[in-house]
Amino acid sequence: MKKIIVAIDGYSSSGKSTMARELARRIGYVYVDSGAMYRAVTLYAIRHGMAGGGKIDRDALVAALPGISVTFEPAGADGVQHTLLNGEDVEREIREMQVSSHVSPVAEIAEVRERLVRLQQEAGEAKGIVMDGRDIGTTVFPDAEMKVFVEASPEVRARRRLRELEQKGAEANYEEVLENIRTRDHIDTTRAVSPLRKAADAHVLDNGRLTPAEQMEWLQNLYNTISNE
Ligand code: CDP
């Protein structure tokens, strides 16, 4: 079996992170949640008064970029990999609605993308990695051996995200979550720099129809086939 790069892209809340994390665990690969990196930069911007009320101070954020580091701590007792912003564990905070509301405009900034894409490519140099996001199979790893594009309707995704937020004890309502998903879909697919789109050689997974167990079986089978080629 050869070591490969697995790129999983898809719309917001399509369940790709859960799927990607579980696949990495099963096959002993490193897992990188690229969305968490954009979220961490967004949290930095919010904390430093560069983002708020839906507005981003682009110039200030670009100037601050060299002083922003985003790293990961391997999964601990809770089985979850934690995101560190300048060494501080921000895993919980980056999932809150305030960050979700500002992350897509931050992810539109070319300099932010350039810096994070470089870090993502470095993480994949040794292969043996599963990374999920919006542009992994198109921009970050265009030569990835295995590419998956996950689809599900906005309503299916909103229900899933609401459940996730409720489980974490965060406040949210269905309409607000659905609206956020639609807005992010729009920004993510229409932005100038590496918009969300399916790579020509990606395998499509419509996960609105599959149970989590069925999804994993589909993914594992695809991995087994590709890594044995
Ligand atoms: O909320 P969800 O888990 O679906 O999104 P995420 O993967 O945490 O990503 C949050 C946001 O970061 C997305 O809506 C995109 O705007 C941006 N993003 C991106 O532009 N490129 C990536 N490779 C990953 C995320």
Closest atom of ligand 1 to CA, residue 14: 4
- The pLDDT score that the predictor gives to residue 154 is 93
Summarised one tens digit per residue, pLDDT across range 128-168 is 999 999 999 999 999 999 999 999 899 999 998 999 889 88
Q: Whose CA is nearest to atom 12 of ligand 1?
A: 35
What's the alpha-carbon Rg for the chain, to the nearest Å?
17
Using the mean position of ligand 1's atoms as its centre, give its distance from the Cα of residue 134 in Å.
6
Give 57-88 as a 3 state SS string: CHHHHHHHHHHCCEEEECCCCCCCCEEEECCE
Q: Is 58 in the pocket of ligand 1 (CB under 6 A)?
A: no
12 CB under 6 A from ligand 1? Answer: yes
Test site for ligand 1: of 184, 189, 191, 197, most ligand atoms within 8 A of the Cβ:
184
Task: Tell me the β-bridge partners of 9.
Answer: 133, 149
Cα–Cα dist 174/177, whole Å? 5
Q: What is the mean pLDDT of the chain?
A: 93
Pocket test for ligand 1, best of 8, 18, 34 (most atoms within 8 A of CB): 34
Mutate to test the pocket of ligand 1, among 81, 134, 151 (most ligand atoms within 8 A of CB): 134
pLDDT in tens, 95-107: 998 999 999 999 9
Q: Report the nearest-CA residue for atom 10 of ligand 1.
A: 35
Q: What are phi and psi of 207, to 5 degrees?
A: -90, 5
Distances (CA, A) of 86 to 26, 37, 68, 80: 30, 12, 6, 19
pTM for this model (two decimals):
0.90
Pairing of strands 88-89, 129-133: unpaired
What per-residue string of b and e applies to 171-208 under the rule 16 or more CB within 10 Å gives b?
Answer: ebeeebbbebbebbbebbeebeebebebbeebbebebe
H runs (alpha helix) in 84-211: 97-107, 110-123, 154-167, 174-190
What is the rounded average pLDDT of the residues 63-89? 88
- For the Cβ of 160 lying below 6 angstroms from any atom of ligand 1, the answer is no
pLDDT score for 81:
81
Q: Identify the weakest region by mean pLDDT among 1-15, 74-88, 142-156.
A: 74-88
Task: Say whether pLDDT at 110 is over 80.
Answer: yes
Check: CB of residue 9 under 8 Å from CB of residue 198.
yes
Determine if ligand 1 sits within 6 Å of the CB of residue 117.
no
